[in-house]
A and B are shown apart, each in its own frame.
Chain A
């Protein structure tokens, strides 16, 4: 229903396409690159506010590692709405799923000192965190669930970030929109502040059981201070990058490429 529409967006209209093109230069990162806002026609007045919103959210959260609220087990939602891809048909994923993700390995690469491949059991050996948090969808609904996973900070420390690294990109197994140029593959990017936040985990467990396919098995991201679309499911590869403009349509994520904010704090 409403999420159905999100999954298969209406055929792009000229105005919207123009807009997305017009936004061009990863303007979500405008506050990070204020000077290269692009040509006048690329400026979208409405999007100006996004830079302000982002800056204010950053200022509010500040250098503090303010935690998202955590709830008691009793607050866990009886039903947690699966959204986006819930059953990826991508052949690689289907094959991995068939034998319970035994052959699945998380690739860690890009701007890291020690690229690596980690199996699920190796991920489980990393410092982990369990948290009961509220998942807020950009559509408006919320569900509470328990998540357990490896702290991304621990993984990044193990791999060792190079100095140029500014973002962490997550590449997923699922294709959420069929496109000719492969820009329908799900991916996400987050900044280093959120990457090293204690509640940012690579979850392999949900509600005290192994993560289900509809929620992103074998591994999904939790970035608790942002909206649901930042929390990439079916993660295959993690890369430390200096810039996301070169990835896909250049706005830092599947939904970002389709007009949503890169910093999804509101």
Chain B
């Protein structure tokens, strides 16, 4: 289990009688020889799922927290007149919300029903940054949102520290760090991905360059996201004033926190799509049991 992928690539393939029987059940002429490798170490698998659960809770409670002040500005303080991003509701003469408006750099978009104004429990339009169905708890409750957020933030951080220890001390980073050859291969890899042709044979023993870059970006984004979150704390700011300098202010840190969370959401969407397109069962199994079947190149 502890061997690294590099070793696996060099050594004879990791045959596992129990699993190879799966492929031998296929008609002999159609079955390309299949190798089954241990793609993810137990530690990486556990970290992945703990992280996934934490991220969902943090995202939903984060949207609850964001709803208490659904706008973003740069710098130390809030620019109430010109936030660069805001979710607001347009109201009629009675003060009832009639439309949800998303404002990005002064450009307004009608997002009624989802952002700015969305149906409440009774179905009528209410002013919410993010809709009830996306937040935790589902009704407006900043205090509870914070409680969920901070609890799961601790789990995320502890889980992240374990993952980073593995990354560094057990050199997991080598599986993610792209080589020069990898980088030169980016255009080719993009073309192959667009054609939904994924690496096979020995090439599939490693992450391809796009995977490496995507996973690496997540590994980098998480600590920055956590630091930006901490910079919103007046106590942490007093202890480490350099954080305010690093992020150009508390509101800027809030914006960075939000934007990185958005980036991670985009990553997860692409991630899930790729999981489905490149063999969902095989991929899921590799993240649960570790076993990943290498599809051999067609000759």
A and B physically associate: yes
Bound Cα distance A136, B68 (Å): 13
Assess the A49–B150 pair: CB atoms within 8 A.
Answer: yes
A118 to chain B, nearest CB (A): 28
Given contacts A69-B238, A141-B78, contact A50 B150 (CB under 8 A): yes
Given contacts A77-B77, A144-B77, contact A61 B150 (CB under 8 A): no
Assess the A69–B237 pair: CB atoms within 8 A.
Answer: yes
Please tell me if B143 contacts chain A, counting CB pairs below 8 Å. Answer: yes
Assess the B236–A259 pair: CB atoms within 8 A.
Answer: no
Please tell me if B218 contacts chain A, counting CB pairs below 8 Å. Answer: no
A230: nearest chain-B partner, CB-CB: B234
Chain A residues 115-145 with CB under 8 Å of chain B are 134, 136-144
A1 to chain B, nearest CB (A): 7
Residues of chain B with a CB closer than 8 A to A75's CB: 76-77
Bound Cα distance A116, B68 (Å): 40
B225-269 near A? 1/0 per residue, CB < 8 Å: 000001011111111110010000011001000000000000000
Bound Cα distance A208, B236 (Å): 28
Residues of chain A with a CB closer than 8 A to B184's CB: none
Bound Cα distance A186, B185 (Å): 64
Bound Cα distance A75, B240 (Å): 20
Bound Cα distance A2, B230 (Å): 23
Bound Cα distance A15, B143 (Å): 13
B131 to chain A, nearest CB (A): 15
**Interface-facing stretch out of B31-39, B134-142, B271-279:** B134-142
Assess the A45–B151 pair: CB atoms within 8 A.
Answer: yes
Please tell me if B203 contacts chain A, counting CB pairs below 8 Å. Answer: no
Residues of chain A with a CB closer than 8 A to B69's CB: 2, 137, 139-141
Assess the A259–B234 pair: CB atoms within 8 A.
Answer: no
A149-183 near B? 1/0 per residue, CB < 8 Å: 00000000000000000000000000000000000
**Among candidates A2, A57, A69, residue contacting B68 with C-beta atoms closer than 8 Å:** A2
Bound Cα distance A57, B69 (Å): 24
Bound Cα distance A77, B75 (Å): 12
Bound Cα distance A229, B242 (Å): 25
Bound Cα distance A66, B148 (Å): 29
Please tell me if B109 contacts chain A, counting CB pairs below 8 Å. Answer: no
Please tell me if A42 contacts chain B, counting CB pairs below 8 Å. Answer: no
**Interface-facing stretch out of A87-95, A102-110, A220-228:** A220-228
Residues of chain A with a CB closer than 8 A to B230's CB: 266
